[in-house]
Chain A
Amino acid sequence: MLVIRRSLVDAMVTHARADHPDEACGVIAGPDGSDRPERFVPMVNSARSPTFYEFDSGDLLRLYRDMDDRDEVPVVIYHSHTATEAYPSRTDVSYASEPAAHYVLISTRETGTEDGPYELRSYRIVDGAVTEEEVRFLAG
């Protein structure tokens, strides 16, 4: 189960809407061993594509060094789907490489850049197997 503050969910959704129709991506880092997402880090989608995302390689190195320095891990790795449901695609599964992370998908296909209903779901992706999990929202 993913337990996450409402403000962090809002930050991911705002990012997804801002980048629509391209996919948005980023991480929420948290203390190593805590499983608690805390520090919101939106990333640039270097693919700038409605069907693909990739963290820029230089940004990726800086992100992991920064997390190392702070004893953090990527608790949440999020990205948006802009024309399909919030379910991991085949490429999402084949490139997933953080078995301890919660992979959060946000679909903006219904409302695009506008406010309104959105779909947000969370998964574990381990050795090619996708398992959906419950998301519990905390106030704040």
Chain B
Amino acid sequence: MSVEVRVPTILRTYTAGEKVVAADGASLEAVIQDLDVNYPGIADRLLDESGLRRFVNVYLNDEDVRFLDGLKTPIADADSITILPAVAGG
């Protein structure tokens, strides 16, 4: 499954400045692993030992994957994934 992934400014250091990159995978987890093959280190910015980092939002098309199936969310051809760091603080 080939999908486009929109990368936020803060992670474009991994993608040589690219805003949109392509990745493959049948689930979100597989897409992130594939991203990490081409852009080493990026997975670590998205995941911790418990899964998706609390303050990283990932959307499949228009939906936050937390309201879908998280990392197990199935990905179909031509889906679009958007990564956005939470805007949050204290």
A contact residues vs B (CB 8 Å cutoff): 25, 27, 43, 47, 51-55, 57-58, 60-61, 64, 73, 77, 79, 88-92, 95-100
Q: Could you say which residues of chain B place their CB within 8 Å of the CB of A55? A: 86-88
In the complex the two chains form, what is the Cα distance from A60 to B82 in whole Å?
Answer: 11
Q: Could you say which residues of chain A place their CB within 8 Å of the CB of B88? A: 47, 52-55, 91, 95
Q: Could you say which residues of chain B place their CB within 8 Å of the CB of A60? A: 57, 84, 86-87
B51 in contact (CB, < 8 A): no
In the complex the two chains form, what is the Cα distance from A61 to B59 in whole Å?
Answer: 8
B89 touches A79 (CB 8 A): yes
In the complex the two chains form, what is the Cα distance from A96 to B10 in whole Å?
Answer: 10
Q: Who on chain B is nearest to A79 by CB?
A: B89
B49 in contact (CB, < 8 A): no
In the complex the two chains form, what is the Cα distance from A5 to B57 in whole Å?
Answer: 32
Chain B: residues with Cβ within 8 Å of the partner, total of: 17
Q: Could you say which residues of chain A place their CB within 8 Å of the CB of B59? A: 57, 61
A89 touches B10 (CB 8 A): no
Known: A53-B88, A54-B86, A55-B86. A61 touches B9 (CB 8 A): no
- CB-based closest 8 A-B pairs: A91-B90, A92-B89, A97-B85, A54-B88, A89-B90, A55-B87, A97-B10, A57-B64
B89 touches A89 (CB 8 A): yes
In the complex the two chains form, what is the Cα distance from A77 to B58 in whole Å?
Answer: 20
B contact residues vs A (CB 8 Å cutoff): 8-10, 55, 57, 59, 62, 64, 66, 82, 84-90
Interface residues of A: mostly helix, strand, loop or mixed? mixed
Query: Using a Cβ cutoff of 8 Å, how many contacts connect chains A and B?
Result: 66
Shortest Cβ gap from B51 to chain A (Å): 16
A-B contact pairs, 10 of them (CB 8 A): A52-B89, A57-B57, A57-B64, A57-B66, A57-B86, A79-B89, A89-B90, A92-B90, A95-B55, A99-B10
In the complex the two chains form, what is the Cα distance from A21 to B90 in whole Å?
Answer: 13
Q: Could you say which residues of chain B place their CB within 8 Å of the CB of A51? A: 90
Q: Could you say which residues of chain B place their CB within 8 Å of the CB of A90? A: 90
Known: A61-B57, A95-B55, A98-B9. A53 touches B89 (CB 8 A): yes
